[in-house]
Amino acid sequence: MPEIRPSSDIRNKYNEISDFCHENSEPVYITRNRKGDLAVMSIATYEKLVGKFELYQLLDEGIKAKEENKVRPFHEAIEDIGRSECVSFHHNKTRRRRLTTDDGEIGTIYCEKLSLHSDKESFH
C-alpha cells in the first residue's frame, strides 16, 4: 500500500519521510489540498528508476533498429572498433563506447564490462 502524506509533513516530519524512503525503497506520495502533488523518494530509488528507464529506451531503440533492418552482425561491429577511435564515458554503472570513423559516428555500444583496444590506447 502506498505511503500518502499531506504536504505539511514535508516540513514537520521530514526525517520520518526520509527514513521511510530509505528503508523501504519506495516513494512517499505527497498531497496538496487533498490531491496528489509529489512523489518523494531516495536518491538510490530514483537512480534505479532512471536506470530502468534508460534501459527501456535502449531496448526500444534496438527493437526499432531491428524493425528497420538497421542491424548488422556483432563481429562486423567489433572489427570496425579496430579501425575506429573510441570515446569512453560512464553513466549509472553502464559503460558506453561511442565509435567514430573518419566518416562520422557509427554507433554506440552499451555494456557492463568490455575491453576495447585501438591503435592509440586501450579502454576498460
Q: What is the pLDDT of residues 21-70, one digit of tens each?
A: 999 999 999 999 999 999 999 999 999 999 899 888 888 888 888 888 88
The string of pLDDT tens digits covering residues 64-120 is: 888 888 877 777 776 766 655 444 444 444 455 555 555 555 555 555 444 444 444
Contact 111, 94 (CB under 8 A): yes
User: Residue 112 contacts by C-beta under 8 Å, 6 or more apart in sequence?
Assistant: 93, 94, 95
What domains lie within the chain, and their CATH numbers? 3-44 (3.40.1620.10), 49-123 (no CATH)
Contact 54, 30 (CB under 8 A): no
**pLDDT beyond 50 at 123:** no
pTM to 2 decimal places = 0.56
